[in-house]
A and B are shown apart, each in its own frame.
Chain A
Amino acid sequence: MSVTTEEQKAANKALIDEVLKAYPEKTAKKRTKHLGTYEGGKPDCGVKSNIKSLPGVMTIRGCAYAGSKGVVWGPIKDMIHISHGPVGCGQYSWGSRRNYYIGTTGVDTFVTMQFTSDFQEKDIVFGGDKKLDKIIDEIQQLFPLNKGISVQSECPIGLIGDDIEAVSKKKSKQYDGHTIVPVRCEGFRGVSQSLGHHIANDAIRDWVFEGDTRKEHEFESTPYDVAIIGDYNIGGDAWSSRILLEEIGLRVIAQWSGDGTIAELENTPKAKLNVLHCYRSMNYISRHMEEKYGIPWVEYNFFGPTMIEKSLREIASHFDDTIKANAEKVIARYRPMVDAVIARYKPRLDAKKVMLFVGGLRPRHVIGAYEDLGMEVVGTGYEFGHNDDYQRTTHYIKDGTLIYDDVTGYEFERFVEKVQPDLVGSGIKEKYVFQKMGVPFRQMHSWDYSGPYHGYDGFAIFARDMDMAINSPVWSLTKAPWRQAA
């Protein structure tokens, strides 16, 4: 029984009104601005965003440190990233984002290690600058092949008045211009991870591009040099993207930041085009490179064949006819594989309803991949999106889609209960809540330990994973037979 769009909108409104009743009046007034239904043709999704989360509501969001250390800096593989402050932040974020890389960990590569200043009471009372100074000495001694150090500030750093910039400059001088980057990503800054991305981008601008420590690398430019920006290589995403860019004849000179090196960052201003996947976390540095070095940037989407084809053509349009022709060849080459994947999985997934709540680019970017498999995204929202994300989302969603910004645990649970999607795509904190409810679920931050999901190779895995989530026999077992209605 199909529902008309108008009926859908009315149902959404009733649902939102119902959910808001649970809140104290003051809170309901604030939350109402973040919940809504997309009206087709409007320039954005009609919700407010990038506003402080309300206390006590169980926001899903993280903090600026998570955005800087966890997302932007952490994957840069030949640098050591110090979680500066108490032990917890580094511990909980240790190795959990699945930023794949190649290298000898602990020797020339350090991504899945937890370096911390493990602040004690005396460091809070007397300040941690001396400790940081010593930590850098110990890093230089024990990890001589590190290509740089970043200082990822945790909450206390900004509160106790430490001068990590002075320490960084001093130690950089002491170690012959070694790259040492202080990052002011204390967790209390801003309203979510998002400010952490921005701060991290600015730190790259100020301390990698502009600083005295920038290294020159022997480099011969070609007209086909591009940099992948905003791909963290989760489960190998950047690799299954890079392979396509190379296949159409481009030369990928840098990966930001999954499996990336500091040299790649330093060489990026030599690119002819920056291709930007996660707009939210790296639009800042892309804009900077455009202004400062005149490098244009283009957003792309490598989830699902429809978007991959569109993106390959878009990227190729910035280059000569050879590249354009190559793009067509690559699209044609992969088409049979893609068709076979769709032929296999679409009949099993057709018309299934999906609700998403993720971060970064995914609340919109993955929609095409679902649609390629015949599925429909009926609700979506951003953990830490801004209005420009919600504007971009309008290109992906249908009239009548339920929208929830910075959704609370309570809201999400009620929405799913009522909408009854066939699949929820969100994070680890949400996964088991919905599975208990008998709703199939995939983690869409970590790819539920699978992936890659980017590119053609990734799409096959994506399709297989969605099928195994939705069509698992386990969902027919959640109600005991003696509990099932006759």
Chain B
Amino acid sequence: MPQSADNVIDHEMLFREPEYQELFRNKKEQFEFNHSDARVQEIRDWTKTEDYKEQNFAREALTINPAKACQPLGAVYVANGFQGTLPFVHGSQGCVAYYRSHFSRHFKEPTSCVSSSMTEDAAVFGGLNNMIDGLANAYNLYKPEMIAVSTTCMAEVIGDDLDAFIKNAKQKGSIPEDFDVPFSHTPAFVGSHVTGYDNALLGVLKHFWDGKAKTTEPLVRVPNDSINFIGGFDGFVVGNMPEIRRIFDMFEVDYTMLCDPSAVWNTPTDGEFRMYDGGTTKEEVERALHAKATIVFQEYSSEKTIKYLQEKGQEVVVLNAPVGVAGTDQFVMALSRLTGKPVPQQLELERGRLVDAIADSQAHLHGKRYALYGDPDQMLGYTQFLLELGAEPAHVLSTNGGKDWAEKVQALFDASPFGKGCKVYPKRDLWHMRSLLFTEPVDFMIGNTYGKYLERDTGTPLIRLVFPIFDRHHYHRFPTWGYEGGMRLLVMLLDEYFEALDANTNVPGQTDYSFDIIR
């Protein structure tokens, strides 16, 4: 009997006890009717080969372990970035349970969101009644200042018309006529969560700038000197948004953060649950029209929004999640140019400290090979950072990055001697990555929690710098953007390097001559 009151053993060790090991053995031998161990080993070895990789890369229909989610997830993210806003997803209710769980597992925070709970009858007759009742219920129960509507694939397949439905609901008295309900169609079978971010943000901007779905006069742009910032879908938003604000504050510039969920996913435990906290206000959204320029930090999260902003007459500075020294320089210089102000001394100091840290440590990262996967912009930013450290981003993969993204990554490779021999993989998944890690091994991998399966199978140490991160806590609280964020990224890379080095040199009397206390 392994368990005792004095020493309660968890699952980790409990099932290694002889009683359970015997149980597993018997179950396998008598009842499972598995393939033989030899056959399993044979296939396992085959999956590591060039031959397997070729067949794996020839896949045309099957996706295995993708690194992307669906549009409405991005839409729910966006709704969370506006003050007092309740995300409302029109369609099947199970989807909403999934978005809420997904975000809560990453941020370790509540995520409020309602569904219109469409079922079979709505599939036949449309979801109008669900919209009418849903808006009334949500409005009365959760007292939002605004409800941001998006759609699941069910509502999209049957072709529900959000604009008409919302107007109809207002006529039926579900919500006041002048209550703000920006909306966006976010079909799960188009693009990914970053597309959903784009559509939902565009929905909010259009609502406020273009006359609230033809119910008021469109706003007239009167350009001023303020600057907008759009961050894009970002798993580190809780740390990044305050950092970006700090940088804007240093420039002493008038600015507007469009979509900032960093407060609602960072509320205190003090006895009160805050369903809403922080976020961009309606007034700020309206004011943002007049900005002279918008900095879009992640292009692929805002492709349609960028065009819309340009049509409005704003200058749009489009970035690809630039991080590290040169990346942050790009952002900071854009800010300096737009404001006509010199880069603040404090920022220059922070830059110098990051360069100092890199100079101290670069020898450990020089020439190290990395595999990385994630959202397209983030991959561009990380690739650039690795190259400036003298490391090699050997495999850069994105499930939701396309051909033009791949060209941008290639351009980064081409601009650096460390990019030679590095390869970019658009529209690929983590099962492709698995083959790559076997046939062309690297030293480290940068990815999300799902990368731990690759770490287990291939022995490549994983650095968790991509959404979602479920199995490590609080990473999202620290910035990865700005020079300060660059410091965090550097330390993450170094920590993993040193951990791996120590783990590889700790056998007493055999390898521990290299078990140095000074590195």
Contact surface of A with B, Cβ cutoff 8 Å: 22-24, 26-27, 52-66, 78, 85-89, 91-96, 100, 102-108, 112-121, 123-124, 131-132, 134-135, 137-139, 141-142, 144-145, 154-156, 158-160, 187-191, 193, 217, 235-236, 239-240, 242-243, 246, 252-255, 259, 261, 263-264, 267, 333-334, 337, 340-341, 343-345, 408-410, 413, 427-429, 431-438, 450-452, 456-457, 460-461, 463-464, 474, 478-480
B28 adjacent to chain A (CB < 8 Å): yes
> A188 contacts B120, CB within 8 Å?
yes
Q: Which of B59, B136, B154 has the most CB of A within 10 A?
A: B154
Residues B111 and A55 in contact, CB atoms below 8 Å apart = no
Query: Which residues from chain B contact A160 at a C-beta distance below 8 Å?
Result: 157
CA of A461 to CA of B2, assembled, Å: 12
The winner among A88, A333, A341, A450 for most chain B CB atoms within 10 A is: A88
B341 → A minimal CB distance (Å): 39
Which of chain A's residues has its CB closest to B427's CB? A118
Known: A56-B134, A120-B189, A263-B33. A91 touches B68 (CB 8 A): yes
Q: Provided the pairs A145-B40, A450-B11 are in contact, do residues A55 and B137 lie with their beta carbons within 8 angstroms? A: yes
Interface readout for B1-39 with A: 1 if CB under 8 Å, 0 if not? 111111011110011000110011011101111110001
B148 contacts the other chain (CB 8 A): no
Q: Kindly state whether residue B268 has any CB partner on chain A within 8 Å.
A: yes
Closest partner residue, chain B, to A54 (CB atom): B137
Which residue of B4, B141, B269 is within 8 Å of A57 (Cβ)? B141
The answer to whether B69 and A24 have CB atoms under 8 Å apart is no
Measured between beta carbons, the chain A residues less than 8 angstroms from B187 are 86, 121
Q: A78-B34, A341-B5 are in contact. Are A117 and B63 (CB under 8 A)?
A: yes
Cβ-defined contact, A56 with B133, below 8 A: yes
Contacts A124-B189, A156-B154, A191-B119 given; indicate if A138 touches B59 (C-beta within 8 A): yes
In the complex the two chains form, is B112's CB within 8 Å of A58's CB? yes
Report B-chain residues with C-beta under 8 Å of the C-beta of A434: 273
The docked-state distance in angstroms from the alpha carbon of A144 to that of B55 is 13
- Taking a contact as CB atoms under 8 Å apart, the answer to whether A432 and B104 are in contact is yes
CB<8 Å pairs between A and B, sample of 20 = A27-B133, A52-B119, A55-B115, A55-B137, A58-B138, A91-B69, A92-B69, A94-B450, A102-B24, A107-B40, A137-B61, A144-B43, A156-B154, A187-B92, A259-B27, A337-B4, A431-B104, A435-B269, A436-B273, A464-B8
Q: B44 is contacted by which of A64, A107, A115, A478 (Cβ under 8 Å)?
A: A107
Chain B hits for A58, CB < 8 A: 112-115, 138, 141-142
The answer, yes or no, to whether B203 is at the interface (CB within 8 Å) is no
B interface residue count range (under 10 / 10 to 19 / 20 to 34 / 35 or more): 35 or more
- B271 and A479 contact, CB distance less than 8 A: yes
Distance (whole angstroms) from the CB of B61 to the closest CB of chain A:
4
Q: Evaluate whether A63 and B114 lie within 8 angstroms (CB atoms) in the complex, with A107-B40, A114-B66, A134-B60 already known.
A: no
Given A106-B434, A189-B120, A145–B39 Cβ distance below 8 Å? Answer: yes
Flag whether B100 is at the interface (Cβ < 8 A): yes
* Complex-state Cα separation, A295 to B382, whole angstroms: 59
B90 to chain A, nearest CB (A): 9
The 0/1 profile, CB within 8 Å of A marked 1, for residues 120-147 of chain B is: 1011000000110111111111100000
Contact across chains for B189 and A429 when beta carbons are under 8 A apart? no
**CB distance A87 to B114 under 8 Å?**
no
Whether B62 is near chain A, meaning CB under 8 Å from some CB there, is yes
User: Is B158's CB under 8 angstroms from A159's CB?
Assistant: yes
In the assembled complex, the Cα of A141 lies from the Cα of B130 at a distance in Å of 44
Q: Report the minimum CB–CB distance from A182 to chain B (whole Å).
A: 17
Do B14 and A236 touch across chains, with their CB atoms under 8 A apart?
A: yes
Bound-complex Cα distance A259 to B34 (A) = 12
Say yes or no: A188 contacts B142, CB within 8 Å: no
A-B contact count (CB 8 A): 351
What is the CA–CA distance of A229 and B60 in the complex, to the nearest angstrom? 38
A156 touches which of B4, B61, B141, B157 (Cβ 8 Å): B157
- Let me know if B108 is at the binding interface, CB within 8 A: yes
Within 8 A of A (CB), among B53-72: 55-56, 59-66, 68-70, 72
**Closest CB in chain A relative to B401 CB, distance in Å:** 14
- Tell whether A55 pairs with B117 under 8 Å between CB atoms, given A94-B450, A263-B32: yes
B267 touches A155 (CB 8 A): no
Complex contact A105–B453 (CB within 8 A): yes
**With A55-B137, A188-B120 known to touch, is A65 a contact of B94 (CB < 8 Å)?**
yes
Give the interface centre of B9, B91, B153, B187 by most chain A CB atoms within 10 Å: B153
Contact of A23 with B141 in the complex, beta carbons under 8 Å: yes
Q: Is B64's CB under 8 angstroms from A55's CB?
A: no
Chain B residues with CB under 8 A of A142: 52, 55-56, 59, 62
Taking the closest CB of chain B, its distance from the CB of A61, in whole angstroms, is 6
A337 and B14 contact, CB distance less than 8 A: no
8 closest A-B pairs by beta carbon, nearest first, are: A63-B94, A55-B134, A88-B70, A56-B134, A92-B98, A340-B5, A56-B137, A86-B188
A88 touches B72 (CB 8 A): yes
Q: Nearest Cβ distance between residue A266 and chain B, in whole angstroms?
A: 9
B269 touches A438 (CB 8 A): yes
Query: B120 — which chain A residues lie within 8 A by C-beta?
Result: 188-190
Bound Cα distance A55, B134 (Å): 4
* Residues of chain B with a CB closer than 8 A to A239's CB: 15, 20, 23-24
In the complex, which of the residues B47, B97, B274 has the most CB atoms of chain A within 10 Å of its own CB atom?
B97
What B residues does A246 contact at CB under 8 A?
Answer: 23, 26
Partner of A88, one of B56, B188, B273: B188
List the A side residues contacting B6 at CB < 8 Å.
340, 344
Please name 9 further chain A to chain B contacts, defined as beta carbons within 8 Å, in addition to the given A58-B113, A88-B69, A156-B153, sorted by A numbering: A58-B114, A64-B94, A86-B187, A91-B66, A91-B69, A113-B453, A191-B119, A253-B31, A432-B110
Assembled-state Cα–Cα distance A122/B511 (Å): 57
Q: Is B178 an interface residue (CB 8 A)?
A: no
Query: CA–CA, A117 to B61, complex, Å?
Result: 7
Closest CB of chain A to B186's CB: distance in Å? Answer: 11
In the bound complex, CA of A63 to CA of B117 (Å)? 10
The closest CB in chain A to the CB of B188 belongs to A86
Q: Would B8 and A460 count as touching, CB distance under 8 A?
A: yes
Q: Is A104 a contact partner of B188 (Cβ separation < 8 A)?
A: no
CB distance from B368 to the nearest CB of A (A): 26
Known A54-B137, A135-B62, A436-B269: A267·B31 in contact at CB below 8 Å? yes
A92 with B141: in contact, given A124-B189, A160-B157 (CB under 8 Å)?
no
With A116-B63, A456-B3 in contact, is A155–B190 under 8 Å at CB?
no
Residues from chain B with a CB closer than 8 A to the CB of A263 are: 31-33
Closest B residue, CB atoms, query A413: B273
- For residue A144, which residues in chain B have a CB less than 8 angstroms away from its CB? 43
Contacts of A134 in B (CB 8 A): 60-62
Q: Are B136 and A438 in contact (CB under 8 A)?
A: no
Q: Chain B residues near A96 (CB, 8 Å)?
A: 101, 105
Q: When A104-B44, A121-B189 are in contact, do A56 and B116 touch as well, CB less than 8 Å?
A: yes
| Cβ-defined contact, B40 with A461, below 8 A | no
B152 at the binding interface (Cβ < 8 Å) = yes
From known contacts A188-B92, A188-B123, A236-B15, infer whether A461 and B101 are also in contact, taking CB-CB under 8 Å: no
The answer, yes or no, to whether B102 is at the interface (CB within 8 Å) is: yes
Q: Which residue of A lies closest to B92 (CB)?
A: A187
Q: Which of A106, A118, A267, A428 contacts B63 (CB 8 A)?
A: A118
Considering only CB atoms, which chain A residue lies closest to B155 in the complex? Answer: A155
Docked CA distance A451–B11 (Å): 6
- Are B114 and A57 within 8 A (Cβ)? yes
Asked if residues A88 and B98 are in contact (CB atoms below 8 Å), the reply is yes
Q: Are A408 and B141 in contact (CB under 8 A)?
A: yes
> Which residues of the partner chain B approach A480 to less than 8 Å between Cβ atoms?
270
Q: Complex: how many Å from CA A138 to CA B110? A: 39
The answer to whether A460 and B98 have CB atoms under 8 Å apart is: no
Please measure, in the bound complex, the distance between the C-alpha atom of A239 and the C-alpha atom of B20, giving whole angstroms.
8
A429 touching B100 in the complex, CB below 8 Å, given contacts A55-B137, A58-B113, A105-B453: yes
* The residue from B19, B30, B118, B122 contacting A243, defined by CB atoms under 8 A apart: B19
Rounded to whole angstroms, the CA-CA distance of A456 and B9 in the bound complex is 12
The chain A residue sitting closest to B99, CB to CB, is A92
**B10 and A450 within 8 A (CB):** yes
